[in-house]
Structure 1
Amino acid sequence: MGYLMIVWIVLVTVVTVFYLNIPPPELSPRLKAWYKKGSFFRYNDFDIFYIDEDGVMTDDSTLLLIHGFPTSSHDWIKILDDLKEQYSRIVMTDMLGFGFTDKPKQYDYLITEQADILEAILESLSVKDVHIMSHDYGDTVALELLHRHNTNKGKVQVNSLCMLNGGVFPETNFPLFGQKMLLVPVLGDLLSHISFYGSLKRGLGSTFGPGTQPSDTDMRDFYAVLRYKEGNIVMSRLIHYITQRNKNKERWVGALQKTKVPTHMIYGPADPVNPPVFVDHYKKVVPNPSIHVLPSGIGHYPQWEDPTGVVSSYVEFLKNVKQE
């Protein structure tokens, strides 16, 4: 073993030991209030956090919100009240490995299982049909649910699907350097153990538009949720959704291409992970594409960066859905 390799291993070990003795940050009052709104659903041996809220409408309609990587259901807080105006009920969860849900360490996180869990929660709530809004990682989970709906193999009927910035197409998805490092065997596990607030701020912050950066309070909330139940440690396992997308392209992109369900994309173009080449590809690949491009400064988290623009586009989409 070379001298430099020994030095590297010793350095990483020292940093890891030091990091593991740093307690996770406390939840802010805002996060504590979010936690109190929720309940837990037991799936196999895991506790899955979910929130089931009443909306304003009286038509028995339900909206399922599916968050992205590496965050949680709290991502929807800025548009939740407006969405309640459109539905009788809104259900959202922290998927396995995220947020307040359990985060098993030695585990293969599969998109298909995330969909299984959502179906199980909806079934327990006696929800048989849903509209879906999803973001990022959640877009892929939503496409799995859409595939099941298309093939009559799902446990829930999908009435409509609205996606926000996500790597729907492997060809137009460009993971950040840190995400690529998490995919590297052994190295990814080590990096997960020594994740710091500063690294999250740089990495996650780079996906927002230059003029729509989260406040320090917002970013610390993102970090606190990530560190909850040592969630940082499983990032190197969750990140393999990228390879799952590549392997299941025909299944998930095909679901979007073949479906008769009304679909819509709301897209922030200042997104380094899914840059504007995504728009042309979406229009080329998806039959009768419905896509709304937000102003140029909006990045990967449109529901956080431009909540008014997202709600406006979504309400217009719903009007068309209801007219069909």
Structure 2
Amino acid sequence: MVSVSQVAVVVLGVAIAGFLLYPPPPLSQRLLSWKQRGKVYPYNDVEVFYVDEAGSGTGTVVCLHGFPTSSYDWIKIMPYLKNQFARIVLVDFVGMGFSDKPEDYNYSVFDQADMIENLAESLSISSTHLLAHDMGDTVALELVARFKERSKNTGLVLTSLCLLNGGLFPGKYYPRLLQKIMLMPVLGKIASRLIFFQLFRTRFGEVFGTSKPSYGDFEDFYAAIRYRDGNTVLPGLLNYIKERSDNEDRWVNGTLKTSPIPVLMVYGPADPVNPSPVFPDHFRKVAPQHKLVVLDKSIGHYPQWEDPEKTGRSYIDFITGL
């Protein structure tokens, strides 16, 4: 006679197999159009996706997105960027978006910074502004640390830095439950393979304020993650959380506090990852010389998506005031 526990094991096994075999969703016309705007750059035996577009202004800006999304995050503020800059470069980090997503890759903030420097060199970018969000904030701080350390006559010259909601300060940053699970050595790999759309929509939606993405937006975020089985590399990408703690002295005390370039933080306070008033109070304490723009209390972790007008205008005001 078959026991209830045996039946449960079989049902669970079938469910897991179903998730593992379930194909990624098709790309919407919006994502396909974004993909067609980009090119690929060979880096460390992987292909990195980037969009390189001309604007009507002056100078260059390189945009660094957050976890777990992609360069598509910036699409709503592209009109502001095109009016301000002559060149806008938006990159998908290795393991994210339309870039390659190898499972056996050593994902690291330092490697992503190497990739950005190499890409900039290949595109003949000698000087640039940086616009970053979330995980991209940390990659940007590593780039600023390198700029600070080397001679100003060598390498990539950085002109300014704009940060959007990012867990810059260990101990005052609160990863989501799903992130904590995926950081567990064995359980994380299993969990990353069992992320289905409704679970993603519910958990990812929690980091937004009252201006939630539309159903179609959630589908696009999810499809970009699932592209090339990107969900399977999420645990490796999350190594940046540990790196933040390990390198707090370098990135916070050694770089943010004493940045050689102007810094702006645009912050959405309805952010459970970097909650208010803890985050803005600590930012003011650590780096009082830098400018902080706090958006409406309804705006959460993705200000460039939730309030592109105020975010875009705040950034342009910062750039024009330099």
Structure 2-normalised TM-score? 0.94
Unaligned stretches of 5+ residues in structure 2: none
Matched, 1:278 2:276: no
Aligned match of 1:160 = 160
Matched, 1:173 2:185: no
The AA in structure 2 aligned to 1:235 is L
**Per-residue CA distance 1:256-297 (angstroms, 9 max, x = gap):** 111120000000000000001100000001141310000000
Mapped partners of 1:258, 1:9: distance in 2:
56
Mapped partners of 1:252, 1:207: distance in 2:
24
Mapped partners of 1:18, 1:126: distance in 2:
47
Q: Could you say what the CA RMSD is over the residues aligned between the two structures, in angstroms? A: 1.8
**Per-residue CA distance 1:183-203 (angstroms, 9 max, x = gap):** 111000000011100111011
Unaligned stretches of 5+ residues in structure 1: none
- What is the CA distance between 1:19 and its match in structure 2? 0.9
Mapped partners of 1:286, 1:248: distance in 2:
17
Aligned match of 2:44 = 44
Aligned match of 1:32 = 32
Mapped partners of 2:165, 2:32: distance in 1:
27
Correspondence 1:203-282 to 2 at 5 A: 203-209=203-209, 211-253=210-252, 254-276=254-276, 277-282=278-283
Distance 1:9 1:65, change over 3 A: farther
User: SS of 2:50's equivalent?
Assistant: strand
**Per-residue CA distance 1:227-282 (angstroms, 9 max, x = gap):** 00000001111111100100011111121111120000000000000001100000
The AA in structure 2 aligned to 1:111 is V
Correspondence 1:56-95 to 2 at 5 A: 56-57=56-57, 59=58, 61-95=59-93
Distance 1:90 1:17, change over 3 A: same
Aligned match of 2:125 = 127
What is the identity percentage for the equivalent residue pairs of Structure 1 and Structure 2? 46
CA contact (8 A) 2:69 2:224 kept: yes
Mapped partners of 2:64, 2:316: distance in 1:
18
- What is the CA distance between 1:108 and its match in structure 2? 1.9
CA contact (8 A) 1:15 1:194 kept: no
Mapped partners of 1:81, 1:16: distance in 2:
43
Number of equivalenced pairs: 316
Aligned match of 1:313 = 314
User: SS of 1:258's equivalent?
Assistant: coil
Distance 1:314 1:194, change over 3 A: same
Q: 1:115 aligns with which of 101, 113, 116?
A: 113
Q: Higher mean Cα deviation, 86-95 or 148-157?
A: 148-157
- What is the CA distance between 1:310 and its match in structure 2? 0.2
Structure 1-normalised TM-score? 0.94
Mapped partners of 1:189, 1:63: distance in 2:
35
